[in-house]
Amino acid sequence: MSEDISSVGIVGGGQLARMLALAGYPLGLRCVVLDPASDACAGQVAPQVHGEYDDLEALDELARRSDVVTFDFENVPAAALAHLADEVPVHPCPAALACAQDRLAEKTLFNQLGIGTAPYATVDSREQLGAAVATIGLPAVLKTRRLGYDGKGQQVLRSAADLDTAWDALGGVPLILEGFVDFTRELSILAVRSLSGEEAFYPLTENRHADGILRLSRAPCADAALQAAAQDCARAVVERLDYVGVLAIEFFDCGGRLIANEMAPRVHNSGHWTIEGARTSQFENHLRAICGLPLGSTAALGPVAMLNFIGRLPPREAFLAHPDVHWHDYGKVPRHGRKVGHATLCADSPAALDALLATLAPQVPADAG
Amino acid sequence: MSEDISSVGIVGGGQLARMLALAGYPLGLRCVVLDPASDACAGQVAPQVHGEYDDLEALDELARRSDVVTFDFENVPAAALAHLADEVPVHPCPAALACAQDRLAEKTLFNQLGIGTAPYATVDSREQLGAAVATIGLPAVLKTRRLGYDGKGQQVLRSAADLDTAWDALGGVPLILEGFVDFTRELSILAVRSLSGEEAFYPLTENRHADGILRLSRAPCADAALQAAAQDCARAVVERLDYVGVLAIEFFDCGGRLIANEMAPRVHNSGHWTIEGARTSQFENHLRAICGLPLGSTAALGPVAMLNFIGRLPPREAFLAHPDVHWHDYGKVPRHGRKVGHATLCADSPAALDALLATLAPQVPADAG
């Protein structure tokens, strides 16, 4: 059956769709993206259907041109995906997306599966916010249950005086209050599960964020015990959701104990190092999974790091002057807060990677602002 | 200056142009290909100018849309390249192409540089053929000086009776007679030299041909002494020609002594393993070289082999069932003698690679015929 799949539709035409499309060509898969933007960066490398995500005609055209459909961002309208799913297989399935779209559903699932989370409470009124803070304590983070990403839709509460400010900023939509977690570092795992149920897991990645946006990822970064613990969590989630494709779970590492923060039902920024740093990239494995092909090896090829470029690119030559560095320009116009590219740094030893990072990380420009 | 290069023109729109275009996108380089075929496989992944290679309007359009121009086959008409070179930088330079287009010029250059070749003689008449055979002996190979590839334009002479047949088949264009070389295996080296004169060399690759077409490549395959000898040859050639880009030289290994067979002024089939098997692919390094960017590491990541698919593809799933195998579908219609794809086999040890090859090589279908 998988031999018949030759066209993959992608809802969303950003850099994740772009890297999926580039990974598809060698596999004999042609991607077509749906995006309203006239300059969607995936549209530079693959055919694009121009239309809003709730435009039924555009959705129908995408379905008509696709043997299977996936998405490159988790805020796809549920109705759009349901419409598509009536016409063509959609992976990951709409139910998995729905869970990942709602921080409450996500945390509830984690807890049902025995996966630790920060303490949390739903907040639908100013009164509930006060009650939740009384239970969970401060500091804490008030978040929208839906549509948050890259730190958007979040307010940190440090004292009682912050409650009104936070409520004024976010109130009116379903919210969740999450207790602070005392962690030593942030980790993420990428799981991939195919149509046939085959599963594979990439090595744990250590991530550093600033202003809510990922800046640096590094892999492999954990011992066998932590890796096994993360894989157990990811396996439980993908099996419960009958998940097909790549799924990312972000954890806090609390001195060797993993606390799940959130999950992303798609290829993930913290997995970009897999393009050069793993035997098979997350993009190739996502496509293999949703097309029912066997999965490729997820083994890391050595120590590797990724530096994200936010707002604008650094000078290309300064990075490529290091022969073990690879460049990824997403073809986007520079803009504040926008992910415009990344570099992958490979090395033969962790110490060599440290040295390369010490040289190059300071050359990543501050956001264009 | 290299920061200004964003568009690369490619004369020819076959699988080499396709893989160049795919390697260009992450570097921020957009390729545009010139090819007369309506189904040129590079045209599936990059914009295409449709036109014959001697169509001046099409050449002008390619030049207008390109900051630098290269080519994906060595039989580009010299006049076409000269026309382009008047308008836009062309790399490798037309003089290097002219040398590689003529077996006599190529062998003369090799000998001038002290690089061993088979004995050879020019043949422009039936009488000269007799004289050349008298000098060089039999067996020998009569070849057209120009426009040969994949074993085309060649006749093997084993006895005096073969001379008339060979002459009837090939006579009328400039020919060369080459003596047989008693070799143990065929090797190739890929050199890359950038606009700034930076040089790098990939590990020697062992190649097996059938019916004049490459079937299997394997790397790395040689000790340091042989590698150094091959690099010396390649360095001498690229420096003499002021060559910019990837150059392949094919050798016969005569018990540790290298005899140069021919060269190709472009990315090369025997270097396809570098996509997954080397830190930087030949395609990326060719683009870096002609755009004046620093070169990426040419180090091999481990034992690797490439199986060529001629005529038609084997079943994709049978190959991908092995997690260390990668698939390359060129998006071509099956046809006798056509290169339609390849697979890359990675392994952690030479023995593991042997085992993988023993399983998969028999599954490569015979040519569609």
Which of A156, A179, A202 is at the close of a domain? A179
Say yes or no: B205 and B346 in one domain: yes
Enumerate the residues of chain A whose CB falls inside 8 A of the CB of residue B303. none
Q: Is B45 helix (H, G, I), strand (E, B) or coil?
A: coil
Report pLDDT for B267.
Answer: 98
pLDDT band of B4, cuts 50, 70, 90: confident
> Are residue A321 and residue A195 in the same domain, yes or no?
yes
A369 pLDDT exceeds 90?
A: no
Task: Report whether the peptide linkage leading into residue B47 is cis, meaning its omega lies within 30 degrees of zero.
Answer: no
Evaluated on CA atoms B296, B87, B55, B61, the torsion sign reads positive
Q: Judge whether B215 lies within some domain.
A: yes
Alpha carbon distances (Å) from A357 to A110, A148, A314, A315, B147: 34, 30, 14, 16, 49
Number of domains in chain B: 3
Task: Looking at the structure, tell me whether residues B205 and B328 fall in a common domain.
Answer: yes
| Residues A193 and A289 grouped into a single domain | yes
User: Half-sphere exposure of A258 toward its Cβ, with a 13 Å CA cutoff?
Assistant: 26
Cβ-contact B143, B175 below 8 angstroms: yes
A165-176 confidence digits (pLDDT tens)? 999 999 889 999
Helix (H, G, I), strand (E, B) or coil at A34: strand
Same domain, A322 and A192: yes
For the stretch A224-265, pLDDT in tens is 999 999 999 999 999 999 999 999 999 999 999 999 999 999
Report helix, strand or coil for B293.
Answer: coil
Q: Do residues A44 and B345 make contact, with C-beta atoms less than 8 angstroms apart?
A: no
Q: Are strands B185-193 and B199-201 parallel, antiparallel or unpaired?
A: antiparallel
Unique residue bearing structure tokens 């504040």 = A336
B261 with B350, same domain?
yes
pLDDT at B5: 82
On whether residue B109 sits in a domain, the answer given is no
What tens digit of pLDDT does each residue of B95-114 get?
999 999 999 999 999 999 99
pLDDT at A289 over 90: yes
Least Cα distance to A346 among A301, A299, A304 occurs for A304
Q: From the DSSP assignment, how many helices (H) and strands (E) are in chain B? A: 12, 17
pLDDT value, residue B212:
83
Domain-embedded: residue A232: yes
DSSP B123-165: E-SHHHHHHHHHHH-SSEEEEESSS--TTTTEEEE-STTHHHH
- Cα distance between the two ends of chain B: 49
**Token code pair at residue B129:** 């053929």
Do A196 and A169 lie in one domain? The reply is no
Q: Are A356 and A218 in contact (CB under 8 A)?
A: no
Q: Over pLDDT 70: what percentage of chain B?
A: 98
> How far apart, in Å, are the Cα atoms of A354 and each of A148, A303, A360?
33, 10, 10
Residues A277 and A239 in one domain: yes
Report the residue of A4, A20, A287, A316 to disrupt the B interface, i.e. the one with the largest count of B CBs within 10 Å.
Answer: A316
For residue A323, the chain B residues in CB contact (below 8 A) are 200, 279-280, 294-297
Residue A108 contacts by C-beta under 8 Å, 6 or more apart in sequence?
Answer: none
Per-residue pLDDT band for B1 (boundaries 50, 70, 90) equals very low
Contact A28 B327 (CB under 8 A): yes
- Model ipTM value: 0.94
Residue A167 belongs to domain with CATH number: 3.30.1490.20
Nearest CA in chain B to A26: B328
Q: Is A277 inside any structural domain?
A: yes
CB atoms near residue A193 (< 10 Å): 27
Residue of B26, B44, B279 lying closest to A324 (CB–CB): B279
User: Helix, strand, or coil here: A40?
Assistant: coil
Binning pLDDT at 50, 70 and 90, where does residue A1 land?
very low
What CATH number has the domain bearing residue A216? Answer: 3.30.470.20
Q: For residue B45, list chain A residues with Cβ-Cβ distance below 8 A.
A: 25, 45
Decide if A320 and B294 are in contact by the 8 Å CB cutoff.
yes
With CA atoms as reference, the chain A residue closest to B331 would be A28
Helix (H) or strand (E) holding B258: strand B257-264
d(CA A238, CA B347): 29
Q: Which residues are bridge partners to A190 per DSSP?
A: A248
Angle at CA of residue A43, ends A52 and B62, nearest 5°: 145
Mark yes or no for CB contact A331/B22 under 8 Å: no
Q: Which residues of A touch B (CB under 8 A)?
A: 2-3, 18, 22, 25-28, 30, 44-45, 200, 276, 279-280, 284, 288, 293-297, 301, 313, 315-317, 320-329, 331, 341, 346
For residue A153, what pLDDT is reported?
84
Residues contacting A222, CB < 8 A, separation 6+: A187, A203, A204, A206, A230
- Report how many helices (DSSP H) and strands (DSSP E) chain A contains, helices first: 12, 17
> Which of A25, A324, A346 lies closest to B45 in CB terms?
A25
Confidence of residue A47 (pLDDT cuts 50, 70, 90): very high
Is B368 a member of any domain?
no
Distance between first and last Cα of chain A: 49
As a whole number, mean pLDDT of residues B32-43 equals: 97
Give the model confidence (pLDDT) of B195-210 as tens digits.
999 999 999 999 999 9
Q: Are strands A7-11 and A68-71 parallel, antiparallel or unpaired?
A: parallel
| A206 has binding-site annotation | no
Q: Which of A268, A224, A233 is nearest to A247 (CA)?
A: A268
Task: Determine the Cα–Cα distance for residues A16 and B235; give it in Å rounded to an integer.
Answer: 40
Domain-embedded: residue A346: yes
Q: Which one of B301, B316, B323 has the shortest CB-CB distance to A297?
A: B323
Find the closest chain A residue to B300 by CA distance: A301
pLDDT above 50 (res B294): yes
- Per the CB < 8 A criterion, the answer to whether A325 and A360 are in contact is yes
Q: Give per-residue pLDDT as tens, B252-265.
A: 999 999 999 999 99
Q: Which 8-state DSSP code applies to residue A50?
A: E
Beta bridge partners of residue A191, listed in sequence order: A201, A247
Cα separation, A50 vs A40, in Å, equals: 9
The pairing of strands A48-50 and A30-35 is: parallel
Does a cis peptide bond (omega within 30 degrees of 0) precede residue B92? yes
Which of A295, A296, A323 faces B295 most closely, judged by CB atoms? Answer: A323
Place of tokens 């948050």: A148
Instruction: Pick B317's closest partner by Cβ from A2, A200, A320.
Output: A2
Q: How large is the average pLDDT for residues A330-358?
A: 96
B343 lies in a domain? yes
Task: Give the CATH number, domain containing residue A26.
Answer: 3.40.50.20
Tell me the pLDDT band of A368, cut-offs 50, 70 and 90: low
Cβ-contact B143, B154 below 8 angstroms: yes
Would you list which residues of B are annotated within the binding site for ATP? 103, 143, 148-154, 178-181, 186, 209, 261-262
Query: How many other C-beta atoms can be found within 10 angstroms of the C-beta atom of residue B127?
Result: 9
Chain B residues with a Cβ under 8 Å from any Cβ in chain A:
2-3, 18, 22, 25-28, 30, 44-45, 200, 276, 279-280, 284, 288, 293-297, 301, 313, 315-317, 320-329, 331, 341, 346
User: A45 and A8 in one domain?
Assistant: yes
CB contact under 8 A, A44 and B30: yes
pLDDT band at B211 (very low <50, low <70, confident <90, very high): confident
Residue that terminates a domain, selected from A179, A199, A219:
A179
Strand residue runs (E) in chain A: 7-11, 30-35, 48-50, 68-71, 120-123, 140-144, 154-157, 175-179, 185-193, 199-201, 205-210, 213-219, 245-254, 257-264, 304-310, 325-329, 339-346
User: What digits encode the pLDDT tens for the residues B142-171?
Assistant: 999 987 666 678 999 999 999 999 999 998
For residue B141, what are the domain limits?
119-179
Domain co-membership, A212 together with A168:
no
Residue B127 in any domain: the answer is yes
Mutation to test the A interface, candidates B20, B279, B344, most A Cβ within 10 Å:
B279
Claim to verify: residue A74 and residue A126 sit in the same structural domain: no
- A212 pLDDT above the threshold of 90: no
Q: Any idea which of A113-127, A157-171, B148-162 has the lowest mean pLDDT?
A: B148-162
Q: Which residues contact B141 (CB under 8 A, 6 or more apart)?
A: B154, B155, B156, B157, B177, B178, B180
Q: Are residues A238 and A348 in the same domain?
A: yes
CB contact under 8 A, B297 and A3: no
Q: Which residues pair with B69 in a beta bridge?
A: B9, B90
Chain A hits for B201, CB-CB cut-off 8 Å, are none
Residue A107 annotated as binding?
no
* Closest Cβ opposite residue B324 in set A22, A30, A297: A297
Q: Residue A151: its pLDDT value, please?
A: 67
What average pLDDT does range B15-39 have in this prediction?
98
Q: Is the dihedral of CA B84, B88, B94, B97 positive or negative?
A: negative
With CB atoms and an 8 Å threshold, state whether B288 touches A321.
Answer: no
Which of A163, A179, A195 delimits the end of a domain? A179
Segment A59-71 mean pLDDT: 98
pLDDT band at residue B366 under the 50/70/90 scheme: confident
Q: What is the DSSP letter of B278?
A: B
- Distance, in Å, from the CA atom of A287 to the CA atom of A23, rounded to the nearest integer, reads 8
Q: What is the pLDDT of residues A134-151, one digit of tens each?
A: 999 999 999 999 876 666
> How would you class B339 by CB atoms within 10 Å of its CB: exposed for 0-12, middle for 13-18, buried for 19 or more?
buried
Partner-chain contact A320 B22, CB within 8 Å? no
Distances (CA, A) of B24 to A323, B10, B330: 17, 12, 17
Q: How many CB atoms neighbour CB A361 within 10 A?
A: 15
